[in-house]
Copies of this chain bind each other. A is one copy, B any other.
Amino acid sequence: MYSKKKPISELKDGERVEDIFVVKIKKSIRPYAKGFMFSLILSDASGRSVEYVYWGEKDESKVKDIHQAIKEDDVVLVNGYFRTFNDKPGISTNPPDSIKVLHKGEYDSGEFIKPAKRPAEEMVGELRGYISSIKNAQVRGILERVFIEDSKFLDTFKTHPGAIEIHHNWAGGLLQHTLEVARYCELSKGMFPGLDRDIMIAGALLHDIGKVHEIGVTTRIKGTLKGQLKGHIPMGFRMLANVMDELGTDEKIADKLLHIVLSHHGSNEFGSPKEPMFSEAIAVYYADEMSSKLSSFVEFVSEEKSRTEDDFMYSRAQKRNIYLR
């Protein structure tokens, strides 16, 4: 059993590395002055990447054997020296035995996902609190069926990331984001008493349940095949519709909750087949925006400001320069 020693983000120039990484991209073999080489892009839970270069020997078939044994998403144990070449971090190695593919069981795949920022059980407690605060028995019943009675779903939901990258992309990020959305909605209820708290809070808790099928977690967080073809909004819509059908939920309640799921991206342009048509749907939409955009800004600034001395850094996600100071 191997465990991660030091995240890529903390490696220093010239440092000796003997640690485990995930293979993100595998490149093909090419000849060089002294034989055959290939390179891999390795990553770990810090979200950073490093280029690993294997400078192999003259015998092409031997290098090919090593190369073919490695697949994307594999966890590998690597020996070498860390160096920054042309502003890009890299690890150079000298064979033999500089790289080894680990088997499942030889490592803890949880080590390769960013760790949770809040304890899962604390978050589940908060979730249960919201559920038990719902006054309408039908609405509460739906939440209990989805989140409590289906313990397999909850096990996934409470440790799932909220996105592949940019925001809440860590274990438990999905539940953490869900609770942030609920909290903004709770505050809105205090200021706008006309809001239907039961529908709004239930909508907040349910809006992203389809993400457990859209995002897959192995040694990396990746979009699933079905997620790319169908999206979390239609999948979550169907999950919820089927549960409510089974429970015999009143059509009016059912249609409102389903509308919140469908409209939570706020506009067609951003993938919602319906735009928010009532106050609780607007509340969930803006709460979702606020949680995800603030998470992405705060994470970006916190990561970038230690990497650079510049005042600004361009964010491709936000399509603008972000001020870091």
Which residues on A are within 8 Å of B, measured CB to CB?
Answer: 27-28, 30-31, 83-87, 180, 183-184, 187-188, 191-192, 194-195, 225-226, 228-231, 233-234, 237-238, 241-242, 251-252, 255-256, 258-259, 262, 268-275, 277-279, 282-283, 286-287, 289-291, 293-295, 297-298, 301-302, 311-312, 320-325
Distance in angstroms from A5 CB to nearest chain B CB is 24
Residue of B nearest to A81 (CB): B31
Distance in angstroms from A249 CB to nearest chain B CB is 13
Assuming the A-B contacts A184-B290, A286-B293, are A298 and B279 also in contact, with contact meaning beta carbons closer than 8 angstroms in the complex?
yes
Assuming the A-B contacts A28-B84, A31-B83, A83-B31, are A229 and B286 also in contact, with contact meaning beta carbons closer than 8 angstroms in the complex?
no
- The listed residue with most B CB atoms (<10 A of its CB), out of A256, A272, A273, A283, is A273
Contact of B323 with A231 in the complex, beta carbons under 8 Å? no
Distance in angstroms between the alpha carbons of A286 and B288 in the assembled complex:
10
Distance in angstroms between the alpha carbons of A187 and B287 in the assembled complex:
11
Contact of B287 with A283 in the complex, beta carbons under 8 Å? no
Contact of A283 with B294 in the complex, beta carbons under 8 Å? yes
Distance in angstroms between the alpha carbons of A176 and B225 in the assembled complex:
34
